[in-house]
Amino acid sequence: MIRALSTSATGLEAQAANIERISNDLANVNTDGYKRSRNEFSDLMYETIKEAGGQLGAASQSPVGIQQGLGVKVGANHKNFEQGPAKITNHPYDLMIEGRGFLPVQLQNGEVAYTRTGAFKLDAQGRMTLNSGAQLIPQLVVPPNAMGVQISPSGEVKVALPGGEEATLGQIQLFTFQNEQGLAARGEGLYKPTLGSGPALQGVPGENGLGALLQGALEGSNVNVANSMVEMIQTQRAYEMNTKVMGVADQMLGATVNIK
Amino acid sequence: MPRLGKFGMAIAVMEPWETGRLQGAKDLASGLWTSVSGANARAFEVDTVANNLANADTLGFKKDQATFKEYLSVAERENGSAEVPRGPIKDKDFHQLEGRDQAFVLNDGTYTNFRQGPLRVTNSPLDLAMDGPGFLEVSTPQGVRYTRHGGMKVAADGRLVTSEGYPVLSAQPTGLAEQEGNRVPATALGLSVTGTPADPNVSGRFINLRDRGAHFSISDQGELFAGDERIAQVRVAEFKDTRLLRKAGSALFENRDPANVSAGPQRTIVRQGVLEGSNVNPIEEMTALIRANRQFEQDMKALKTYGDLMGRESNDIGKL
């Protein structure tokens, strides 16, 4: 009976973690490049009181054993990298990846991170920079007299200069990972590789299964509001049921205490 | 109070159901243990319900049900002589009880209900649901285990693994063990997927998805394709008797009897982009919870009554 108390406590903890996850998803329903996540629960260990298949007589075995489960835990938090909807912005430095891949950026502390939020702006030196100050790799410097920037689906960046000239600034590369779900989210749409994700694999946009680049568009959040709301209802009710069990365990303890 | 002393001794050395036999048919307090066994059984039931409800949202979870049986002392039954009633027959004539009705509740077993859980569409290509009685076969450090939680991932070294990091096995050897040389060993990456049993029969059946892109399709027989190329067939194991499976936590089941694996044609349909939820039905669980709670209260009432009777026995009989 004390077990029921702690078992339902693990249930409460897991459902609370789920509500936190859902609230984070819903809070980011309008965050460009945000990827929704999913908590995967798994049951905890079992206390085996009696083994199934134990000998009952010369020729008979007990068909079932006694196993008492001890609750639940959050087994994994799984990011879903499904494509989000395209939002046309017509801003020349907005890049959307249509398909797999991440854009590499250099953080202000020199580290490399990867993102699908391609909302770049130009800084004072003409470099393509994210809101957080992270700069696109390779560093592309747009000359101050550029009339327009053209980024091809395969990542080639060209500028039109006065006098009808055209100059190629560089080539944007995309990166993939063997296990995208192993990436560590760093906030601001940035991800860092981990031992679980494997090393970053470089490629040209649009080739070898990588997504193509789309200039003037951004990838919206892939949060599905209807699904999240349904999950929220389920989680809330599951939480309530666990508190009910806790109440019952408490009543039973109370009844036991009050025998005398 | 010699009786009470004897009673106290019995508590210390005997199983509850044995005290009844020792006390003899006429012992008033022996019924006390019947209600204790009842209360214990109900508490066990609440524990089971608590675990089911805690896992109401756990993928691939199968609910447990506690089963109870009546424990009767056979010797006490046989001692009763048949008494043929004379005159009009009354109810009590059929059952010569006189304290020989020492029945206790014993926990007989927990029975895992393998009813299909609800299928949820996730559209994630590596989510598999078993529509039917099958289980995925996975390799854990403790040996081969079975699961119906089909949320699979590709590990950093390219192996197809479960959420917990255990490699998913294919039906036929994939020859991955021989390709060991061109892979990053999982140990070097510090992963939890190092559970590689030395058995080549197991490690030879790992599924390698390294450099295969992200577009996988899985047929309803579990065949895994990358583009047009057939990579492997995910092993779907079915059992002759699922009751012999033992829960190992993390939605894993252990099969102790190799002969239990069914060799017949696969009846399970593998569904891609779908996950199987928990088969816990909240209505059933809440009903079981209320029932167990009330029965527990009744047992406690009976226990209290026996306590009162014992009090009168020890204090009031002497006054006569």
Q: Count the neighbouring beta carbons within 10 Å of the beta carbon of residue A141.
A: 15
Mean pLDDT of B298-305: 89
CA distance B95 to chain A (A): 30
Looking at beta carbons, which residues of chain A come within 8 Å of B256? 53
Determine the residue among B46, B212, B244, B301 to mutate to test chain A binding: the one whose Cβ has the most chain A Cβ atoms within 10 Å.
B46
If we measure between CA atoms, which residue out of B302, B220, B197 comes closest to residue B268?
B220
Looking at beta carbons, which residues of chain A come within 8 Å of B247? 43, 46, 67, 69
Q: Is A206 left (phi over 0), alpha (psi -120 to 50) or beta?
A: left
- Please list the residues that pair with B119 across neighbouring strands: B276
The answer to whether the bond into B258 is cis (omega within 30° of 0) is: no
Tell if the CB–CB gap between B55 and A69 is shorter than 8 Å: yes
| Helices assigned H by DSSP within B24-162 | 31-54, 74-79
When pLDDT is cut at 50, 70 and 90, the band that residue B75 belongs to is: very low
**How large is the ipTM?**
0.73
**What distance in Å separates the CA atoms of residue B106 and residue A82, rounded to the nearest whole number?**
52
When pLDDT is cut at 50, 70 and 90, the band that residue B262 belongs to is: confident
What letter represents residue B253's amino acid?
Answer: F
pLDDT in tens, chain A (260 residues): 578 999 999 999 999 999 999 999 999 999 999 999 989 898 988 888 887 777 777 777 777 788 888 999 988 888 888 899 999 999 999 999 999 999 999 998 999 999 999 999 999 998 999 998 899 988 888 888 888 899 999 999 999 988 888 889 999 999 998 888 889 998 889 999 998 888 899 999 998 889 999 999 999 999 999 999 999 999 999 999 999 999 999 999 888 888 87
Q: Dihedral sign, CA of B169, B172, B174, B178?
A: positive
pTM above 0.80, yes or no: no
When pLDDT is cut at 50, 70 and 90, the band that residue B100 belongs to is: low
If we measure between CA atoms, which residue out of B117, B189, B193 comes closest to residue B154?
B193
Looking at beta carbons, which residues of chain B come within 8 Å of A52? 109, 243-244, 246
Mean pLDDT of B216-243: 88
